[in-house]
Amino acid sequence: MIKRFFVFSGLFMGLALFTNCKQEPKDDTPWVSLFDGKTLSGWTQIGGKANYTVRDNSIVGSTVHDTPNSFMATNKMYDDFILELDYKVDPSMNSGIQIRSNSYPHYMNGRTHGYQIEIDPSERAWSAGIYDEARRGWLHTMTENKPAQEAFKQNDWNHYRIEAIGDTIKTWINDVPAAYLIDDKTSKGFIALQVHSIGADQKEGTEIIWKNIKILTDSVSKYARKSPLTPIITSNALGVDEAKNGWKMLWDGKTTDGWRGAKLDEFPSFGWEIKDGVLTVLSSGGEESAAGGDIVTKELYGDFELKVDFMITEGANSGIKYYVNTDLNKGEGSSIGLEYQILDDARHPDAKLGRKEGIRTVASLYDLIQADPNKPMNPPGEWNTAYIKSVDNHVEHWLNGMKVLEYERNSDAYLKLVSESKYAKWPNFGAAEKGHILLQEHGDRVSFKNIKIKPITKD
């Protein structure tokens, strides 16, 4: 009887083991390790001077005083990928995982910028939210996702899954869906482990530890997970920090609200197209304002900051004008105002025209001041970002994060340049206290989106 019991017991245990084996299929995902567990081979530190070491098959980052944010970055660049890793963070720290990030000499002297998957052990609990480091600030907070906030484990290991495929970024914290973002600002860059800077009153040597860092770059769509979250879409919308800091949408991405023809009471009935969140001036043969004509804001602006994403086609010419007075030049041609030039420098003849070669190139103050020749311009078919700031007559032009020129409006030097330019015939050119913002129709196909303005009021 006892022998029979052991036989049946053994059979039962064997069956149970077989059943358990069937419930745990082998993971055949073609993961690649980003960390060999022994050295920092394949990684390079960028930015600050925080300490990074290897201990117990983990990368350990520790804080130091008097240094900016530090980043241990992959030498390799990644576009579409799925990344998984584990981390444990000191409760007093703030950190993050940079993805699709870059460091360029022209951008804030090489400062790391790009998407950051937040690590936040504070009471705010925004871990796995998405922050745009050194650019737009918060894109996806955790305020509306309590399950994800509660998933973080204090003083313990946490697991992140990060999917970056096309314009979509999704995150999970300890298998709980956290963030779902649709944003096309950057498609490729390095991955980096951040050690945040600390204040003088914070303890030096606090640690964050990462391990089991693995990435998938092959057949990523096959292995992607669905997220039950509603995506946050940033196209033609303000980010959390932008809204908090006084930015406003100048174009809603859908309608002609807030805009009219520069020489019309309403928006042009032809020559412009609104499609898929993009505002495009259609090609009509390269004649200035010969089709639908320029468009201007209905409102006037004095001091301001302006951001516009633009994309040119080969050989295209256009511009962004400010302090525009539509009562000037009622005849042929464009309305009169200061112009941030938009041009294909390599193919359009205007790049070599003017009283001095270069003063009509992209991002220049058209026909007056040349933009830095080393400016970072993306080629036709890719998006660029123009930024114009005008405060107390001090004006700056920026292109893709680099300041390319600055000048003092109405100064003696400025007035001398105007007197030598094609604008000399217009009294008080560019001197208005307020004016319209204008997008130029120059007969070439050029597209615009994410048009945002921050009006600056004087106390």
User: Is residue 27 very low, low, confident or very high in pLDDT (cuts 50, 70, 90)?
Assistant: confident
For position 7, what pLDDT does the model report? 43
pLDDT at 427 over 70: yes
**pLDDT at residue number 355:** 85
Tens digit of each residue's pLDDT (9 = 90 or more) over 405-416: 999 999 999 999
Residue written as tokens 């305020």? 143
At which residue do the structure tokens 């908090």 appear? 244
Residues 246 and 215 in one domain: no
Last residue of a domain, one of 205, 232, 259: 232
The pLDDT of 144-163, averaged and rounded, is: 98
> pLDDT-derived band of residue 455, with 50, 70 and 90 as boundaries?
very high
For residues 274 and 379, membership in a common domain is answered with yes
Q: What is the CATH number of the domain that holds 427?
A: 2.60.120.560
The pLDDT score that the predictor gives to residue 354 is: 87
Write out the DSSP string of 282-307: PPSSS-TT-SS--EEESS-BSSEEEE
- Could you tell me which residues are beta bridge partners of residue 163? 82, 170
Q: Which of 163, 167, 184, 183 is nearest to 227 (CA)?
A: 163
For the residues 164-173, what does the mean pLDDT come to? 98
Look at residue 192 and tell me if it is in a domain. yes
Nearest CA to 445 out of 277, 273, 301 is that of 273
User: Does 298 share its domain with 429?
Assistant: yes
Closest CA to 442 of 272, 266, 252: 272
* Residue 395 falls inside a structural domain: yes
Mark whether 383 and 359 lie in a shared domain.
Answer: yes
Give the integer Cα–Cα distance in Å for 438 and 283.
Answer: 18
- Where is pLDDT greater, at 459 or 49? 49
Query: Is residue 345's pLDDT more than 90?
Result: yes
Quote the domain boundaries for residue 389: 241-455
pLDDT digits (tens, 9 = 90+) for 236-261: 999 999 999 999 999 999 999 999 99
Q: 6 is written with which tokens?
A: 């052991």
Residue type present at position 414:
Y
Same domain, 99 and 169: yes
Span 177-201, average pLDDT = 96
The pLDDT of residue 28 is 83
Q: Measuring CA to CA, which residue among 32, 23, 82 is closest to residue 222?
A: 82
Mean local confidence (pLDDT), 116-124: 98
Residue 352 DSSP SS3: helix
Q: Give residue-wise pLDDT tens across range 38-81.
A: 999 999 999 999 999 999 999 999 999 999 999 999 999 999 99
Contact in structure between 234 and 182 (CB atoms under 8 Å): yes
What residues form DSSP beta bridges with 190?
A: 101
Residue 407 lies in a domain: yes
**Domain termination site, one of 232, 255, 289:** 232
Residue type, 248: K
**54/160 same-domain check:** yes
What is the H or E stretch that residue 11 is in? Answer: helix 2-23
Q: If you average pLDDT over residues 146-170, what whole number do you get?
A: 98
- What is the C-alpha to C-alpha distance for residues 453 and 383, in angstroms, rounded to an integer? 18
Distance CA 458, CA 113 (A): 31
Cα within 13 Å of Cα(390), Cβ side: 27
Residue 383 lies in a domain: yes
The verdict on 428 and 287 lying in the same domain is yes
**3 lies in a domain?**
no
Q: Are 102 and 190 in contact (CB under 8 A)?
A: yes
What whole-number distance in Å separates Cα of residue 257 and Cα of residue 228? 33
DSSP 37-99: SS--TTEEEEES--EEEEETTEEEEE--SS---EEEEESS-BSSEEEEEEEEE-TT--EEEEE
Each residue's pLDDT tens digit, 356-409: 899 999 999 999 999 999 999 999 999 999 999 999 999 999 999 999 999 999
Which pLDDT score is estimated for 290? 63
Residue 183 lies in a domain: yes
Contact 391, 456 (CB under 8 A): yes
| 235-249, 326-340, 358-372, 424-438, range with the lowest pLDDT | 326-340
Do residue 106 and residue 36 come from a single domain?
A: yes
State the total domains in the chain.
Answer: 2
Final residue before a domain boundary, out of 212, 232, 252: 232
- CA distances 155 to 56, 90, 290, Å, are 17, 7, 66
Q: Are residues 258 and 226 in the same domain?
A: no
DSSP string, 215-269: EE-SSHHHHPPP--SPPEE-TTS--HHHHHTT-EESS-SSS-TTEEETTSSS--S
Are residues 216 and 257 located together in one domain of the fold? Answer: no
Same domain, 316 and 431: yes
* Helices first, then strands: H and E counts in the chain: 5, 29
| pLDDT of 216 | 98
Give domain status of residue 13, yes or no. Answer: no
Residue 11 lies in a domain: no
SS3 412: helix
Q: Exposed (0-12), middle (13-18) or buried (19+): which is 165, by Cβ within 10 Å?
A: middle
Q: What integer best gives the mean pLDDT of the chain?
A: 93
- Using 50, 70 and 90 to split pLDDT, how confident is the model at 457? confident
β-strands 176-182, 232-233 pairing: parallel
Q: Do 83 and 99 form a contact (C-beta atoms < 8 A)?
A: yes
pLDDT band for position 214 (50/70/90)?
A: very high
176 and 123 inside one domain = yes
